[in-house]
Structure 1
């Protein structure tokens, strides 16, 4: 479209201003009052920062691997420690059970020892009774058989008659037989007591053998528990060491991440500065694309991939009206405000993705769409100046690649941006 008289006046003033500014800057460079940019030094700094970031990334990966291995070691150690604690608990149960069995055996040994002592006392009494009765029986037998004539004579002459005599003989014989039976009973009782005594002695010996075996088992269990307890203490010490190592690794990771963040921010600053200078040089090298009423929103990138007007939508494939112009540029290329104004919108908008709208007064606003995630650099209500960086090129919303969708609105209606910026 043809240039208006106002635009021609503005273009003339712009050319005169750039000529005067160029002369001033040239004079300052000649006098040495303004340092010249050193592209070689900047490139070296940029390369150094990239190498530093790569080295930091390598260090981060190594530390992450070290942390992962330490965490695996810690998890395995905790698993082993829990298993060891369970084994110690099982040993405690076995020790308690074995102690109970030992105490039970001790009680049985004491009980049977007491019974044996009672049997020994009974055996002694029975032996004494048996010996006493044997002695008395022997005396009677001696009187009956060794001194039999006198005894029988006494029985014979003492009897009143023959029947009395026979009765006396039977009584004497019965007494002797009773003594013999009593002697046999005493002997049988003594033998039984001796048998019981031997059985008790055998039982006590068996119980003592079991008790000694249990005591040995107790000693083995106690030794195993002592070994497990010592190992558990070692595990706990090692666990504390690994936990401390993990804390140190986390601190080192935080330090590396912070250093990387600073290096990345510095690299981003240098890259943006380089791009801005390249854009400035590109503008100076392309006098055929002067500014319009508004400044070009993507310095250094002047191609238009989709103009204002009707088109086939690249995503939906339908014929739609395109209410702005699309300016392709690499992702995170700086976007500048077309003119001084106030930010009225700085967030997500359906279709446009991350979007910024700047009101310039007199009902005129500019819209900047498809901004990169994290690329909105202004906030609503903020005053921005002409050519101030406000965002970074992205591909959010309905977009097929990195570019800026730039629209101009007058009283809320879209108009051709080429009425306000000089389109190539």
Structure 2
């Protein structure tokens, strides 16, 4: 599922070719790859009618470096949390207080998990509903953040200390426009921490990555962490927090892992400052997806003191987003409902980049918040629509409300996912199509 090389290794070459032929027939022969006139009009209408809500911070970071840190499994419930007298994430908490913190920011990944989060951030398109974009559509033409910044003289690179074939990154990154992909073969694997003991420690990963970034010109670099990958083992001697009463549970192990990662992020920020980069770099830190599978979430409900139901589960699917803007005073928490599809237009506004093909909205200027989750649930500032129940709840009081009052809005938001699927499936941005 994640890695074609592993499919061949574990299932055999015949299975791989059979599966490849099946997918080719299903996706390329049985479905039209050309936009119809109606479909093209649908795209045109969406992008032409997109509203611009304001110009707050427009160009505030023009010409600055951009460093994005996508943190494995980092979720919002770990932020500003104290257990037995100690903060789980003291460094992230400090960064959130000093900069811009988005505390109502939802992950929107589907089958591609971590790779979907990368896709959302770099294209402002939603991930496909079946499978992973990185595996099914890696050679499409994409309007992306790396392409936009390259055209402005930036060097672009992505760093991930794992096999380059995992999630098909080596191929997909070319389509996204990265100049370089720095994978595990480019690192000195000098310390293993997390993910079953096979992951390069985040501390070493951050340190080596900064050494490899070309700082002779403006740069965009994306760092994708590994240590805090489920099942969160091998942190007994790395964590500084007492996770009692959750010792030897998945949640307890997770909190210990995130405490370790938080410490690594603190060292990363110190290193940026020592290298005189912090004051000239937009630093973005966010979580990629959920930390706990729902069947393992019992302790999480207890930690949050909420009932185990669909409404509360959705409310827990937030990931923290922190944005440091050089020269702009922060110290602000923004609670408008948003999702990962909104990050690119937010950065485009900050860096004064004309990016007309985003499906998201600039989070510094959007007036009313919403986030479409890929199970078709919808989160807004007023209500949460739970798709599995076909019911809507007041976002603050959790009481049932009349869904029919918001049905048109819910349907309109859900159609964004369908439009994104269409554009990806039909490679809508290739020169002869759009």
User: Structures share a fold, TM > 0.5?
Assistant: no
Q: Bin the TM-score by the shorter chain.
A: under 0.3
Normalised by the size of structure 1, how large is the TM-score? Answer: 0.18
Query: Would you tell me which structure has more helix in proportion to its own residues?
Result: 1
Higher relative contact order, structure no. (Cα contacts within 8 Å, ≥ 6 residues apart): 2
For the pair shown, the structure with the greater C-alpha radius of gyration is 1
Normalised by the size of structure 2, how large is the TM-score? Answer: 0.18
